[in-house]
Amino acid sequence: MNEQILLARAYLSRVAEPPAPALAAFVAQAGPVEAAARVFDGRVEEAVAAETGVRRSVHRPQADLDAAAAAGARLITPEHPEWPAEAIEAFEVVGSAQLAPPLALWVRGPARLDELCGHAVAVVGARAATSYGAHVAGELGSGLADRGCTVVSGAAIGIDGAAHRGALAVEGATVAVLACGVDRAYPASHELLLERIAASGLVVSEYPPGGVPGRHRFLVRNRLIAGLATGTVVVEAGLRSGAQRTASDALALGRTVMAVPGPVTSAMSAGCHRLVRDGALLVTRSDEVLEAVAPIGAHLAGGPEPQGDRPTDGLGPRAALVHDALPARAARDTRWLALESGVPIGDVRSALITLERRGLVEHCAGRWRRRQAEGGEAVV
Amino acid sequence: MNEQILLARAYLSRVAEPPAPALAAFVAQAGPVEAAARVFDGRVEEAVAAETGVRRSVHRPQADLDAAAAAGARLITPEHPEWPAEAIEAFEVVGSAQLAPPLALWVRGPARLDELCGHAVAVVGARAATSYGAHVAGELGSGLADRGCTVVSGAAIGIDGAAHRGALAVEGATVAVLACGVDRAYPASHELLLERIAASGLVVSEYPPGGVPGRHRFLVRNRLIAGLATGTVVVEAGLRSGAQRTASDALALGRTVMAVPGPVTSAMSAGCHRLVRDGALLVTRSDEVLEAVAPIGAHLAGGPEPQGDRPTDGLGPRAALVHDALPARAARDTRWLALESGVPIGDVRSALITLERRGLVEHCAGRWRRRQAEGGEAVV
């Protein structure tokens, strides 16, 4: 990993309050090192300056990386193989300001984020959960984790905590996405729970070490919960709740939105019923969730990857465009691919990383080409 | 009312076990008087003979009419103005054997069946209802009846009884469709409830007086519950239940199917959740039911008729075809209308009755024509 890029991304992760759509676009276009230097110097266009002006002089990337290391955490960036490129691609494709992609992610725990996100479902809901809701969240957490599916949630009290605990109870994978630094325990009563999650899964945040949780950050954080998972299940939610926001982010990101019903007499189920009436899938148990997020039969075979038969199945739209643009045998450079595919050059780069990880393309003397299958035929 | 027709229909209502698709088609084609005579003599084609052979010698129409009168009941037939022609038309249009139309209906109570069916919702569910289900059924029954909507159900213990009681509690209209004669109280514990229903609304059955309830008859009866209402709400149901059958009949008849959610831990809500997953509308309160069965705004205005702005809105497909076939000003006879519209002549007749009741056509020297609006223009 290029130390310069890591320091640049660490600086960028602190310089703007997420979501920072202008900065994200600028970094994708200029690359992180140049972007960081120009942001620090103030040599940026107005929209980027508006997002970074207040904090651009706070230049402490090495101190943040050290603080993370001291807490057992690390910074992962789009340039890391561990970066969940396929999941994050949805943010880039949607292109909404509210759903700007994270510039980097601070993670604490032994697991690889890209692997955990390969087959992941978010289980979210109200803090003021009823005992019914907490029970169902725990059952879903256990049922999903037991089938090899990662349980993503926000570590809040109520539904979130029950979902994480359900996954941990069957020694399954779970990811907590925080609205504060990964070195902090919020809520304080979940300090032990967060330690348990960090011991086997991952605690994730886009806020640098020491970052404090704020009301706004919980809502902004919710887009990451939605985006890191293939689908989102709302277990209990009032009519106006953060879980509803997670569901609408999930919908915008093209994820499957699901909701658990409950008594019509319970205000904590009213948000779930509203979601179903608005088109969310009603689910009652983990089987139904897995059916909805994986192709038929995939979860039965125990395979962690929700992919179809062809290697190109499941690619995001931009990666698919870049793949299609590559000729069957000739190698092409990034600029040519951007012109041919119509995909911005910054996105071509991340698409190529995705395609390379899938074994669909290979890098060769500064250019890219389709990888040849064993029989000499291109992998299509 | 033609006495001959009444006696013929009374005979026909006993001669075949519903649903009797071949007999229904024969009666529609030959007319009730000729059909009854030929059934009694055995001069019918094989399919009709198969439905009527066992009971054709049981000729006691006057005794049945007398028994009904003694119980405060009466027979209504497609030839009566009170016949719910629009509701029953769906059975004729669907044309499925299982959903054959009733040949006549025995009713007990002061209300007019056609009026009650003008704006009616079926509220059905499990006998083994939970207290939650019974509570919700009662609330729905009251909420619907309070807004001028008739509550149709099957008078069973559990959900049905709670729905009827809810309607009665607000002095609203309710219809109980029985799987036995209207002179019998089944279940016995609902004798008082049935008396209360018959005192203000209607107790309805296609089985003649004295008819006993049988397992088969409950399922067959369910199609009438579904058909007499514009929509069906299932409040609680196990995965295999009579309420599911009512819902599938309602779907086949083109009615709106709705289901009330409940705890996923309750077996009595499992059937409702399955229905929603299969496409039924999730509803949590009577407002949502009324929104689904009436055009937007209609229930707000308190109007009992779920009709749009044009007099032809809400017509069944056959009535609409017949109406369309009529020229703007010229009068036509029934045979001409059958040829022009492609609707069987028996159905043209019932369609014309519907259209006449709506004030859309008028009878004139053996022929029918569009009724002229005040300004001299045809009502379109």
Q: List, for residues A275-287, the tens digit of each pLDDT value.
A: 999 999 999 999 9
| Encoded amino acid at A144, one letter | L
User: A residues 157-196 near B, CB within 8 Å?
Assistant: none
Choose the mutation target among B284, B287, B289 for the interface with A, i.e. most A CBs under 10 Å: B284
| Residue at B222 is within a domain | yes
> Are A136 and B261 inside 8 Å of each other by CB?
no
Q: Name the burial class of residue A302, with classes exposed (0-12), middle (13-18) and buried (19+) by CB atoms within 10 angstroms of its CB.
A: exposed
Are residues A124 and A160 in contact, defined by beta-carbon separation less than 8 angstroms? yes
| Encoded amino acid at B379, one letter | V
Are residues A190 and A161 in contact, defined by beta-carbon separation less than 8 angstroms? yes
Tokens 């037939």 correspond to B77
Same domain, B174 and B127: yes
Same domain, A148 and A236: yes
The residue ranking higher by pLDDT, A238 or B323, is A238
* Residues of A with Cβ-Cβ distance to B260 under 8 angstroms: 264
Asked if the model's pLDDT at residue A235 lies above 50, the reply is: yes
Task: Write down the pLDDT at residue B125.
Answer: 97
Tokens 């389709």 correspond to A370
Task: Write down the pLDDT at residue B93.
Answer: 86
From A265, A276, A285, residue closest to B276, measured CB to CB: A276
Distance CA A304, CA A302 (A): 6
Averaged confidence pLDDT in chain B: 90
For A92-148, the DSSP string reads HHH--STTPPPS-EEEESSS-HHHHHTTEEEEE--SS--HHHHHHHHHHHHHHHHTT
Task: Write down the pLDDT at residue B223.
Answer: 96
Chain B touched by A284 (CB under 8 Å): yes
Percent of chain B with pLDDT strictly greater than 90: 73
Same domain, A111 and A233: yes
Chain B touched by A281 (CB under 8 Å): yes
Same domain, B231 and B352: no
Asked if the model's pLDDT at residue A300 lies above 70, the reply is: no
Task: Write down the pLDDT at residue B118.
Answer: 92
Q: What is the CA radius of gyration of chain B?
A: 21
Q: Are strands B73-76 and A367-370 parallel, antiparallel or unpaired?
A: unpaired
Same domain, B230 and B183: yes
Copy the structure tokens of residue A241.
């709740």
Q: Are strands B120-124 and B105-108 parallel, antiparallel or unpaired?
A: unpaired
- The 10s digit of each residue's pLDDT in B185-216 is 999 999 999 999 999 999 999 999 999 998 89
| Residue at B62 is within a domain | no
Distance CA B74, CA B181 (A): 11
Are residues A110 and A138 in contact, defined by beta-carbon separation less than 8 angstroms? no
Asked if the model's pLDDT at residue B169 lies above 50, the reply is: yes
Copy the structure tokens of residue B379.
């009502």
Alpha helical stretches, state H, B208-330: 215-228, 242-252, 267-277, 286-293, 317-325
Task: Give the H/E segment covering residue B34.
Answer: helix B32-41
Distance CA A293, CA A307 (A): 11
Asked if the model's pLDDT at residue B333 lies above 60, the reply is: yes
Distance CA A248, CA A257 (A): 8
Cα–Cα–Cα angle for A244, A250, A251, rounded to 5 degrees: 90
Length of chain B counted residue by residue:
380
| Residue at B335 is within a domain | yes
Same domain, A121 and A169: yes
Averaged confidence pLDDT in chain A: 90
The residue ranking higher by pLDDT, B162 or A243, is B162
Are residues A106 and A209 in contact, defined by beta-carbon separation less than 8 angstroms? yes
Asked if the model's pLDDT at residue B380 lies above 50, the reply is: no
Q: What is the mean pLDDT of residues A50-69?
A: 95
Nearest Cα residue in chain A from B267: A284
Query: Where does the pLDDT of residue A312 fall: very low under 50, low under 70, confident under 90, or very high at 90 and above?
Result: confident
Distance from CA of A347 to the nearest CA of B (A): 38
Distance CA A243, CA A233 (A): 9
- Ramachandran region, residue B290 (left: φ > 0; alpha: ψ -120 to 50; beta: rest): alpha
Asked if the model's pLDDT at residue B82 lies above 60, the reply is: yes
* Residues of B with Cβ-Cβ distance to A277 under 8 angstroms: 281-282, 288
Task: Write down the pLDDT at residue A308.
Answer: 43
Same domain, A285 and A325: no
Same domain, A238 and A354: no
Task: Write down the pLDDT at residue B302.
Answer: 40
- The 10s digit of each residue's pLDDT in B279-331 is 999 999 999 999 999 744 444 444 334 434 566 767 777 788 888 888 777 78
Distance CA B168, CA B151 (A): 9
- Using the 3D structure, point to which of A227, A261, A293 is the last residue of a domain: A293
* Residues of B with Cβ-Cβ distance to A269 under 8 angstroms: 261
A176, β-bridge pairs: A153, A203
| Residue at A377 is within a domain | no
Asked if the model's pLDDT at residue B145 lies above 90, the reply is: yes
Query: Where does the pLDDT of residue B376 fall: very low under 50, low under 70, confident under 90, or very high at 90 and above?
Result: very low
How many helices and strands, by DSSP H and E, does chain B display? 17, 11
Distance CA B165, CA B171 (A): 10
Task: Write down the pLDDT at residue A371.
Answer: 83
- The 10s digit of each residue's pLDDT in B311-324 is 676 777 778 888 88
| Residue at A54 is within a domain | no
Chain A touched by B262 (CB under 8 Å): yes
Task: Write down the pLDDT at residue A373.
Answer: 55
- The 10s digit of each residue's pLDDT in B227-266 is 999 999 999 999 988 888 899 999 999 999 999 999 999 9
| CATH code at position B269 | 3.40.50.450
Same domain, B145 and B254: yes
Task: Write down the pLDDT at residue B309.
Answer: 54
- The 10s digit of each residue's pLDDT in A76-126 is 999 999 999 999 999 988 889 999 999 999 999 999 999 999 999 999 999
Chain B touched by A267 (CB under 8 Å): no
User: B residues 93-132 near A, CB within 8 Å?
Assistant: 132
| Residue at A98 is within a domain | no
Q: Name the percent of chain B in helix, strand, coil, to the closest 5.
A: 50, 10, 40
Copy the structure tokens of residue A96.
């909404």
Distance CA A191, CA A179 (A): 14
Task: Write down the pLDDT at residue A236.
Answer: 98
User: B residues 350-379 near A, CB within 8 Å?
Assistant: none
| CATH code at position B330 | 1.10.10.10
Choose the mutation target among B233, B282, B291 for the interface with A, i.e. most A CBs under 10 Å: B282
Q: What is the mean pLDDT of residues A237-242?
A: 91
Q: Are strands A174-177 and A150-153 parallel, antiparallel or unpaired?
A: parallel
Tokens 């990880």 correspond to A357
> Are B263 and A264 inside 8 Å of each other by CB?
no
| Residue at B20 is within a domain | no
E-state strands within chain A: 73-76, 105-108, 120-124, 150-153, 174-177, 202-205, 231-234, 256-259, 281-282, 361-364, 367-370
> Are B273 and A284 inside 8 Å of each other by CB?
yes
| Encoded amino acid at A10, one letter | A
Percent of chain B with pLDDT strictly greater than 70: 92
Task: Write down the pLDDT at residue B195.
Answer: 98
CA distances for B354 relative to A97, B233, B287, B307, B312, angstroms: 57, 27, 29, 14, 11
Chain B touched by A239 (CB under 8 Å): no
Query: Where does the pLDDT of residue B360 fall: very low under 50, low under 70, confident under 90, or very high at 90 and above?
Result: confident
Same domain, B188 and B331: no
Going by C-alpha positions, the residue among A264, A235, A282, A277 that lies closest to residue A137 is: A235
Going by C-alpha positions, the residue among B46, B29, B36, B44 that lies closest to residue B12 is: B36
Query: Where does the pLDDT of residue B135 fall: very low under 50, low under 70, confident under 90, or very high at 90 and above?
Result: very high
- Ramachandran region, residue A209 (left: φ > 0; alpha: ψ -120 to 50; beta: rest): beta
The sign of the dihedral angle between the CA atoms of B96, B97, B102, B103 is: positive
- Domains in chain B: how many in total? 2
Are residues B113 and B23 in contact, defined by beta-carbon separation less than 8 angstroms? no
Q: What is the CA radius of gyration of chain A?
A: 21
Distance CA B267, CA B239 (A): 8
Copy the structure tokens of residue A222.
């919710």
Distance from CA of B221 to the nearest CA of A (A): 29
Chain B touched by A288 (CB under 8 Å): yes
Assign B129 to helix, strand or coil: coil
Chain B touched by A291 (CB under 8 Å): no
Chain B touched by A136 (CB under 8 Å): yes
Same domain, A231 and A131: yes
Same domain, B350 and B253: no
- The 10s digit of each residue's pLDDT in A357-374 is 788 888 776 778 888 654
Distance CA A260, CA A232 (A): 11
Task: Write down the pLDDT at residue B363.
Answer: 76
Chain A touched by B264 (CB under 8 Å): yes
Asked if the model's pLDDT at residue A151 lies above 50, the reply is: yes
Distance CA A186, CA B40 (A): 84
| Residue at A45 is within a domain | no
Query: Where does the pLDDT of residue A306 fall: very low under 50, low under 70, confident under 90, or very high at 90 and above?
Result: very low
Domain extent, residue A339, equals 317-370
